[in-house]
Amino acid sequence: MLAEEALRWLQVEPAGTYVDATVGLGGHAVEIARRLTAGQLIGLDRDAGALEIARERLKKYGGRVVLVQADFSRIDEVAQEMNLSPLNGLLADLGVSSLQLDTAERGFSFRLAGPLDMRMDSRTELTAADIVNETAEAELADLLYRLGEERDSRRIARAIVRARPIRSTEHLATTVAGACTSRGRQKLHPATKTFLALRIAVNRELEELGQFLDRAPATLALGGRWVVLSYHSLEDRMVKQEFRRLDGNGVVKVLTRKVVRPSEAEVMVNPRARSAKLRVAEKLTPAAEKLAS
């Protein structure tokens, strides 16, 4: 998503040190790596399956690229453990990968019949099925409203409780669609916001993002670029507010006063890009020479 724009804002230096904090299948990472000569790229992701694919795509770059299975909220810990120099650039694409969306067994999509899983890291225990089948009705309604901004949250929660046990994406999508109030011609599938809320809850996405936004600035060198791509209003609001706060405190300068969106041409080629928003900041205060020192 927004690959050309992200790379243009990163301004990759051939000898620089970069982190792709959500490497996914390696789309952005390939573009960064091929611009490096004496530099290094560290790619993080919590999804082992995605890392396998990224590793294959990036193997031709040899030691210039190192991939690590880790939550992006651990950006500072990873930088210290690897004794990295302050970063010239940091990229975080907060979207769900096509591998996750298009693999029925992962349970992310209401369009594919599969188990209610939604875990980005299979090592964690909590699944969407656990939340759907074990959460009290009032708490479930609050979760759907808060994380999915679902106006029919109470009706949907009531329908889910009545339909328990729900084990499949298909069963959940049908249950939600039956509970939603019809509002004329809808652009989104009725289950879109419910699935979004459950995915965010399962993977603690907002907590992870909050920690990442708090810890990332300390990893950047003076003049280091920080690029974040978000895909829904809760994420983008957090990024916008934190960038603005850091700008006000003189830690970074926000370079994108207006959010960058994909072109019509990109949306036509990849409809999933339509909700993407890109924001960029530049570090104003230098980090220590070595994070580990």
Per-residue pLDDT tens over the stretch 62-77? 999 999 999 999 999 9
Are both 84 and 222 inside the same structural domain?
yes
Are both 7 and 81 inside the same structural domain?
yes
Least confident residue range of 11-25, 173-187, 224-238: 173-187
Are both 220 and 194 inside the same structural domain?
no
Sheet (strand 252-254) strand order: 65-69, 40-45, 17-20, 87-93, 220-230, 277-283, 252-254
pLDDT at 292 over 80: no
What pLDDT shows up at residue 100?
A: 85
Least confident residue range of 8-12, 24-28, 43-47, 268-272: 268-272
What pLDDT shows up at residue 181?
A: 79
Q: How many domains does the chain have?
A: 2
Instruction: Using pLDDT thresholds of 50, 70 and 90, give the confidence band for residue 246.
Output: very high
More confident residue, 97 or 196: 196
What pLDDT shows up at residue 291?
A: 46
Query: 293 lies in a domain?
Result: no
Are both 138 and 91 inside the same structural domain?
no
Domain endpoint, select from 202, 219, 247: 202
Are both 234 and 193 inside the same structural domain?
no
Q: What's the whole-model pTM score? A: 0.92
Least confident residue range of 52-56, 164-168, 261-265: 261-265
Domain endpoint, select from 148, 181, 202: 202
Are both 64 and 132 inside the same structural domain?
no
Domain endpoint, select from 159, 187, 202: 202
pLDDT at 208 over 50: yes
Are both 133 and 166 inside the same structural domain?
yes
Query: 146 lies in a domain?
Result: yes
**Domain range enclosing 72:** 3-99+205-283
What pLDDT shows up at residue 267?
A: 83
Are both 137 and 222 inside the same structural domain?
no
Are both 16 and 91 inside the same structural domain?
yes
- Residue-wise pLDDT for 74-86, tens only, equals 999 999 999 999 9
Query: 105 lies in a domain?
Result: no
What pLDDT shows up at residue 263?
A: 87
Instruction: Using pLDDT thresholds of 50, 70 and 90, give the confidence band for residue 93.
Output: very high
Are both 198 and 262 inside the same structural domain?
no
Instruction: Using pLDDT thresholds of 50, 70 and 90, give the confidence band for residue 290.
Output: very low
Are both 15 and 88 inside the same structural domain?
yes
Rounded mean pLDDT, 210-225: 98
Query: 106 lies in a domain?
Result: no
What pLDDT shows up at residue 184?
A: 54
Which CATH number characterizes residue 62's domain? 3.40.50.150
Task: For residue 230, give both structure tokens.
Answer: 């978000």
Which CATH number characterizes residue 181's domain? 1.10.150.170
Closest by Cα among 95, 100, 120, 101 to 262: 95
Estimate the crossing angle of helix 192-202 against helix 205-215, to 10 degrees.
60
Are both 23 and 168 inside the same structural domain?
no
Query: 194 lies in a domain?
Result: yes
Query: 107 lies in a domain?
Result: no
First to last CA, the chain: 36
Query: 116 lies in a domain?
Result: no
Instruction: Using pLDDT thresholds of 50, 70 and 90, give the confidence band for residue 186.
Output: low
Closest by Cα among 44, 42, 45, 22 to 33: 42
Query: 289 lies in a domain?
Result: no
